[in-house]
Amino acid sequence: MLQAGAGTGKTTTLQMLARATTKKGRYLAFNKSIATDAAQKFPGNVLCKTAHAMAYGAIGHQYSGRMNAPRLPGWKTGLLLGINMTIRIGPRKVSNKALSTAALETVARFCRSADEEITRWHVPHLRGIEEESLHSQLVEVVLPYARKAWGDLQNPDEGIVRFDHDHYLKIWALTRPKIQADFLLLDEAQDTNSVVEKLFNDQRGHAQLVMVGDSAQAIYGWRGARDVMSDFAGTQLSLSQSFRFGPALAAEANRWLTIVDAPIRLAGTPRIDTRITEVPAPSAILCRTNVGAMLEVMRQLDTGTSVALVGGGQALVALARAAIDLKAGRKTSHPELLLFDSWGELQEYAEFDPAGHDLLPLVDLVDEHGPEVILQAVARLSSEQDAQVVVSTAHKAKGREWPSVRISSDFTAPEDQEECDDDGFPLPGPIDDAEARLAYVAVTRARDLLDLGGLSWINQHPNGNPGGAFPGPRSGGPAVSSDPVSAWTV
């Protein structure tokens, strides 16, 4: 197992390992673009593919006819499965559309798991009925339809549910396949989902397993990924020399690595003079949330700056259209908001229900600017090559780098504790591990200049100042942003 910090050349190291042998190897890539790029760089004895590509070659091609079927709205698929009712669970009316969405998401969650059967644990929690007794009522209704949908997907010739790539990967995984190779290289292991983890570990009896990643960059747990490096049985090695940035930024990264108790600390390249200072015109602005990214886009557009948004604005367009529907008193099909009958109902939930507080930034954004303004801003986005500044969430920035980076204001400090210090000031609250890992990803995207911006609070937090001294050289002063936005990631 190879723990490789940000910018340490992990892929280059894997290529060197592959060239050191003539044995047959497989490189399992995180996505198709990485696999395609790796195929150009690895020697001929290593086949570079995603797990999905291997599954397609083995069994997925048998379902190709079903994958080309016309797309249907989830509720229409649900009707064909027999979901034609509306039920009441607690304070909410759960329509056939919501039940259909839940049933199909149950199948999707099962496909990402290592489980052999669909169980209650795969049924998603829906906004507005999060309480466990209410969720149990949802499970009773949804689970039989989810199992019916999975049964429908077993037919390679025809069926009700539209067949997608995760379906054939799961069907292949359930056959317990033997991958023909002498060694397997698993890249980005910290973001592996459970079905791929099991496929990989099941090869231990006949192949040497090598996984590489950075446990401190495990930021996709919310969508089913798991840091499989945390309990992998094998020899542990590390790469700690970063070739992306200099000592000052390595010291900043090490603050966050210390907070998450990561197994490595980074050393910067002395010949790179990375500075931590205010950056009025950065190459990229990194945000905590989609809502924060939209606010940054609008701020930049207001100054006449051309802006690109990594990943495009479709997630924000979907939210704006959902807001338009709810404001007009219509139900929306947006999976986060489908249980609400009106915008007022969503406002009340976001403000007064603890489970809905993460929706407040969206509500505030729409209430202040209106959904039409959001749609207009997305329409004005530029391509990355034509933009003066790139705006991205930290999640989408993973694997990227820019000459200069500013951290946006929606990276907010943890709430203070009720307890006070000797001077009567509230003690800072603990830093959440997931937030610290995301901060580590964000600060390590810069090569030359980093503006800490919304993460400047770390300079006053005791966990960011171990031993009473800053853990490395600094220059300049970080900008302190003044427009905090609560976290909400879509």
The pLDDT of residue 365 is above 80 = yes
Over pLDDT 70: what percentage of the chain? 94
Tell me the pairing of strands 46-50 and 225-226: unpaired
Average pLDDT for 352-376:
86
Mean pLDDT of the chain: 88
Q: Backbone phi, then psi, for 9, in 5-degree steps? A: 80, 45
Among 80-84, 323-327, 331-335, 467-471, which stretch is predicted with the lowest mean pLDDT? 467-471
Average pLDDT for 352-362:
80
The pLDDT of residue 319 is above 50 = yes
Q: What is the pLDDT of residues 437-473, one digit of tens each?
A: 999 999 999 999 999 999 999 998 988 875 444 443 3
Q: What is the pLDDT of residues 333-342, one digit of tens each?
A: 888 888 888 8
pLDDT at 477: 36
Pair of tokens at residue 481: 């942003």
Contact 178, 203 (CB under 8 A): yes
The pLDDT of residue 490 is above 80 = no
> b/e string for 156-166 if b means 16 or more Cβ within 10 A?
beebbbbbebb
Q: What is the pLDDT of residues 162-208, one digit of tens each?
A: 899 999 999 999 999 999 999 999 988 888 889 999 999 999 999 99
Q: What is the pLDDT of residues 264-306, one digit of tens each?
A: 999 999 999 999 999 999 999 999 988 899 999 999 999 999 9
pLDDT at 466: 58
The pLDDT of residue 227 is above 80 = no
Q: What is the C-alpha separation between 380 and 384, in angstroms, rounded?
A: 13
Among 304-308, 362-366, 476-480, which stretch is predicted with the lowest mean pLDDT? 476-480
Comparison of pLDDT for 300 and 356, the residue scoring more: 300
Q: Backbone phi, then psi, for 257, in 5-degree steps? A: -65, -35
Average pLDDT for 110-134:
94
User: Angle at the Cα of 177 (from 59 to 221), degrees rounded to 5?
Assistant: 90
Q: How far apart are the first and last CA of the chain?
A: 32
The pLDDT of residue 46 is above 80 = yes
The pLDDT of residue 487 is above 70 = no
Contact 245, 419 (CB under 8 A): no
Contact 253, 266 (CB under 8 A): yes
pLDDT at 419: 85
pLDDT at 484: 24
Comparison of pLDDT for 248 and 485, the residue scoring more: 248
The pLDDT of residue 109 is above 80 = yes
- What's the pTM value of the predicted model, to 2 decimals? 0.81
The pLDDT of residue 485 is above 90 = no
Average pLDDT for 210-235:
81
The order of strands in the sheet holding 237-239 is 46-50, 25-29, 183-186, 208-213, 2-4, 237-239
Contact 89, 189 (CB under 8 A): no
User: Angle at the Cα of 151 (from 146 to 156), degrees rounded to 5?
Assistant: 130
Q: What is the C-alpha separation between 273 and 264, in angstroms, rounded?
A: 22
Q: What is the DSSP letter of 449?
A: E
Q: What is the C-alpha separation between 198 and 301, in angstroms, rounded?
A: 46
CA 325 to chain centre: 27
Contact 294, 489 (CB under 8 A): no
